[in-house]
Amino acid sequence: MSRTILRGRVLTFISEPQAIDDVASYRYLEDGAITIEDGKIVAVSDFVADDLAEVIDHRPHLILPGFIDMHLHYVQSQMIASYAGSLLEWLNTYTFHEEQKFSHQGHSESVASAFYDELIRNGTTSAVAYCSSSPRSVDAYFGEAEKRNMLMIGGKVMMDRNAPEALCDTAQSGYDDTKALIARWHGRARGLYAISPRFAITSTPAQMEAAQTLVAEHPEAYVQTHLSENDAEISFSMELYPNSPDYTGIYEDYGLLGPKTILGHCIHLNHREAHVLADTGSVAVFCPTSNLFLGSGLFDRERLIKAGVRIGLATDVGGGTSYSMLRTLDEGYKVLQLRGQRLNPFASFYMATLGNARSLSLEGTIGAIAPGNAADLVVLNAGATPAMALRMATVTTLMEELFLLQTLGDDRSIAEVYVAGARAKSTLGGL
């Protein structure tokens, strides 16, 4: 049994930081050692020389848990940065056209490989992604995750209306495909499945009933969909489901809400909707770069927290404009500044690690540097660019360093990535 020790400045969270001085919420080791065996962390301590282990010295860099991305679309990797005025225009002009390519032989595999390279390049070791309506896209997504030994969640989009015919399934085929894909991929290697009706606009009541049946039959699976991203989307959804009290009520009516339900965006929720999400334990996912890019609105984090809603953080590629969780944290900070909600850097990095793991009910598996957890880790260099190095020369606290990383950092700040204890970034081609 081989043993590896990563040496460096180790930072991991224990609970959600309530303020900059909430030192009880995290553990920080100035000269720390993370001992890894068989892909898992077996010890975390101050560094002591060990002649029986391979020591990899990452000083003076910070070692954190690998980043977790709660919501993105791997099938939109080649349409990121597409010019459009709003969500529905963007979907109809670019997205639906692009996603049709994933039924073609070889396309899914090619894009999946490049997509995973980008995740690793940016320090993301786990993510929750939408595939296309083609089962082939799902096979490529989970197949690539298995090759890389990454914990990934995803699923085939179910959509049987208001999209091009070539992209639509039916209520029955969506059910059948999803059922088969759950059997093939959920719990295989580190893969976990998400039942994925795209959103109310693209699913008929019959398909929503099929999704409801799948959820009842597979409580072990996640559910992912979109909620309350755009005013026009909300209006159209209510035209299609006039008997529901509000947009959230559509998913509520079909039994799709619960602790394993991941709801992208959740910007324009009324008070009833917020309380329904809190009561069901459903997760509202903050997607700042996407919300800004499409002009969708400003996420109200403080109001949802006060209502008791669980919250996640995500890039939402390709509506989102970066695979980087550091860039996402930067834009999230700005969104919340406009809301008058100051976000401290400790809370930022908590969200991208342990916070997202808790939102996925995966605490104890990923998201923290602790014995028993997977050795999914990111090594961060706060002086990676000349501008960062110039600022780093005056940094005197950990808080300042974290804020520098989230404000100026990007893929260049990711010095190394470990997936289940194995180096991942330095093995990518072209680096």
pTM of the model: 0.97
Residue 418's nearest CA partner among 36, 53, 9, 2 is: 36
Q: For residue 90, what pLDDT is reported?
A: 86
Confidence check: pLDDT of 430 > 90: no
> What is the secondary structure of 11-57 as a DSSP string?
EEESS---STT-GGGEEEEEEEEEEEETTEEEEEEE----TTSEEEE
Would you state the pLDDT for residue 357?
A: 98
Supply the mean pLDDT for the chain: 96
Say which residue, 75 or 431, is predicted with more confidence: 75
The answer to whether 409 and 381 are in contact (CB under 8 A) is no
Beta bridge partners of 194: 222
Q: Phi and psi at residue 320, in whole multiples of 5°?
A: -70, 155
Which tokens sit at 133? 């309506």
Residue with tokens 């081609």: 429
- Confidence tier at 431 by pLDDT (50, 70, 90): very low
For residue 375, pLDDT beyond 70: yes
The lowest-confidence range among 97-106, 163-172, 231-240, 378-387 is 97-106
Tokens linked to 13: 């969270």
Q: Helix, strand, coil % (nearest 5) of the chain?
A: 40, 25, 35
How far apart are the C-alpha atoms of 255 and 246, rounded to whole Å?
A: 15
Q: Is the pLDDT of residue 173 over 60?
A: yes
Residue-wise pLDDT for 205-219, tens only, equals 999 999 999 999 999
Work out the burial of residue 176: count CB atoms within 10 Å of its CB; fewer than 13 is exposed, 13-18 middle, 19 or more buried.
Answer: middle
**Residue 418: pLDDT over 90:** yes
The pLDDT of residue 72 is above 60: yes
Q: Residue 412 gets which letter from DSSP? A: G
Instruction: Using the predicted structure, report yes or no on whether residue 411 has a pLDDT greater than 60.
Output: yes
What is the torsion angle, in degrees rounded to the nearest 10, for the CA atoms of residue 43, residue 48, residue 52 and residue 53? Answer: 60
Amino acid, res. 427: T
Residue 1 has pLDDT above 80, yes or no: no
pLDDT > 60? residue 24: yes
Residue 293 has pLDDT above 80, yes or no: yes
Provide the pLDDT for residue 160.
Answer: 98
User: Worst-scoring range by mean pLDDT, 81-90, 245-254, 270-279?
Assistant: 81-90
Q: What is the pLDDT of residues 142-169, one digit of tens each?
A: 999 999 999 999 999 999 999 999 999 9
Going by C-alpha positions, the residue among 118, 68, 154 that lies closest to residue 322 is 118
pLDDT of residue 86: 84
Instruction: Please choose, from the candidates 370, 369, 383, 373, the residue with its C-alpha nearest in 3D space to the C-alpha of residue 415.
Output: 383
Q: Give the C-alpha separation, 250 to 242, whole Å.
A: 9
User: For 47-136, where are the E strands, in sequence order?
Assistant: 54-65, 67-73, 124-130
Q: Tell me which residue of 280, 406, 388 sits closest to 332, measured CA to CA.
A: 406
User: How confident is residue 85, by pLDDT bands cut at 50, 70 and 90?
Assistant: confident
Consecutive H or E run containing 311: strand 310-313
For the chain, first and last CA: distance in Å? Answer: 30
Q: Residue 151 has what pLDDT?
A: 98
Inform me whether the pLDDT recorded for 397 exceeds 70: yes
Return the pLDDT at 39. 97
- How many angstroms separate the CA atoms of 52 and 424, rounded? 23
